[in-house]
Amino acid sequence: MKKQTRIYDLFLVLFLLQIILTIMIWWSQGLVLPLVVFPGVSFYFLLYLRYLLHYNRNQSPSEPLFVLRRIGLGTSLNPRNPLGYKISLLLVMGVLICLFCLNLFTLLSL
């Protein structure tokens, strides 16, 4: 559980840095859109990352990789499958890092 807490704390720090960078962009360029979009989407994925990290204890290789969605149509990755958990975790962390880099590049393009 310690490893999951460190992962979550790392991305929480990145989220706070992203908010600081967004405020700096807003002061320097007067852009309002990054002030709302980048940290807002990052907050959603940060909550989803916390949700995913709780599935580490309840995994079984006998679970299917794809399951029917509870809400909406289609299928989704099953985080109770070890491979589905790893893929989901990598996707969420990749999105969070990309959003942070977009915010950083926006600040550097002044």
At 32 the pLDDT is 66
At 75 the pLDDT is 92
52 contacts: CB under 8 Å, gap ≥ 6: 79, 85, 88, 89, 92
Rounded CA gap, 44 and 67, in Å? Answer: 22
pLDDT, tens digit (0-9, with 9 covering 90-100), for 81-104 = 999 999 999 999 999 898 888 878
Exposed, middle or buried, 103 (CB in 10 Å: 0-12/13-18/19+)?
buried
At 52 the pLDDT is 85
At 34 the pLDDT is 61
Task: With a cut of 70, list the residues of the chain below it in pLDDT.
Answer: 1, 31-36, 110
